[in-house]
Amino acid sequence: MSDEQLPGATETPVTTTRDQEDLRRRIEAWLATRLPAGAEPTVPPLDSPAANGWSSETLLFDATWTDPSAGERRTERLVARVAPDPAAMPVFPHYDMPAQARVMQVAADLSGIPVPAVRWVEPDAAVLGEPFFVMERVDGDVPPDIPPYDMGGWVLDATPEQRARLDQSTVDVLAALHVTTGHVDQLGFLQYDWPGETALERHLAHERHYWGWIADGRASATVERVEAWLTAHWPAHEGPPLLSWGDSRYGNVMYRDFETVAVLDWEMAAVAPPEMDLAYLAYMHAYFESIAHRYGLPGLPDLGRLGALATRYESATGYTPRDLGFYVVYNAYRHLLITLRIALRRMHFGELVHTEHLDDALDPSHLELLDELMATGADG
């Protein structure tokens, strides 16, 4: 894979095959069924963020309708999250949009973290082709994936003090979210139904099932090597099971003045130890740093440092994260699987040269990062 083909680096991939004008008309007609009689909603052309998002489809739109109680027109800024079109080779095999909306509401209720308010949930795929939900739109800045925020943009242009505030604000979200330890009984809908004595064992079983779906009979020496490492370095004492965001990275947070104002993208939420989210935040930054270095850029070495994140987290919660080296590699494994699925999708759409050897779809810098993380993770 060449530099120009690095996932998330410089080009926007194909993520949808849907007609935007058709979606607009459908949303407008659907809103008329959700609003009071006589509301007569109108929806202008839709917008989709191009700098973030590889999985569910995000549609930004304004909706104007007549408020019967006030007798005047009103406009609201909304966001629809739609399960991907099967024709677009989705990243995951299953998208439970009502469950995503529910976990957002549970996260907000239990932890108080800023999550966009969900307005409507539509489980009927007949409306837009797949289930979706609509939430209120929040104003703020999201660190971009394309190109990564450590290669250009407002995060790179910020002062070290501003980035430190962004880091602290993000860790504060994780600290607040993880108070759900005592509410696991309310998270049954997020428990993975796979064999395993612990939440972490069931989490790995889920990931292995996901890999089987991606591979479809093909093999990857890289995946096998990382799985063997995980087995050999399994934590002796797992952290408590709690609500895990699952996709905790800077690009899934909206900031205003470097403070968190919205926590986004909950499709990977599950029940897992607290180290999962903390290590994913550090790993994903390390991954984007590897891309920046590949382009000869310095990146942002003052952001997303695992030791600093752990210290901030412990200060905020009183909980000492353990075995973080393992969890960083585990999250590298999770991301590796997603990367391979995205590579297959890009082959499908002609963005990458087709290969039956999945390891050939991985950039050498990605493999080097995996080796480095396993070497340092083995030391604790």
Band (pLDDT 50/70/90 cuts) for residue 224 is very high
Copy the structure tokens of residue 180: 């759900």
- For 201, the 3-state DSSP assignment is helix
Greater model confidence, 250 or 89:
250
Start and end residues for every CATH 3.30.200.20 domain found in the chain: 3-136
337-368: pLDDT as tens digits: 999 999 999 998 898 888 888 899 898 999 99
225-278: pLDDT as tens digits: 999 999 999 999 999 999 999 999 999 999 999 999 999 999 999 999 999 999
Residue 185 scores a pLDDT above 80: no
303-330: pLDDT as tens digits: 999 999 999 999 999 999 999 999 999 9
Q: For position 235, what pLDDT does the model report?
A: 96
Average pLDDT score, the chain: 91
Start and end residues for every CATH 3.90.1200.10 domain found in the chain: 154-377
Give a three-class secondary structure readout of 98-152. Answer: HHHHHHHHHHHHHHCCCCCCEEEEECCCCCCCCCEEEEECCCCECCCCCCCCCCC
Residue 16 scores a pLDDT above 90: no
Angle between helices 199-215 and 324-348 (to 10 degrees): 20
Residue 2 scores a pLDDT above 50: no
Residue 216 annotated in active site? no
Q: From the options 2.160.20.10, 3.30.200.20, 3.30.420.270, 2.60.40.10, give the CATH code of 3-136.
A: 3.30.200.20
State how far the alpha carbon of 259 is from the alpha carbons of 30, 37, 142, 167, 241, in Å: 35, 40, 11, 9, 27
153-170: pLDDT as tens digits: 999 999 999 999 999 999
CATH topology of domain 154-377: Aminoglycoside 3'-phosphotransferase; Chain: A, domain 2 (3.90.1200)
User: Active site residue: 145, 167, 247, 265, which one?
Assistant: 247
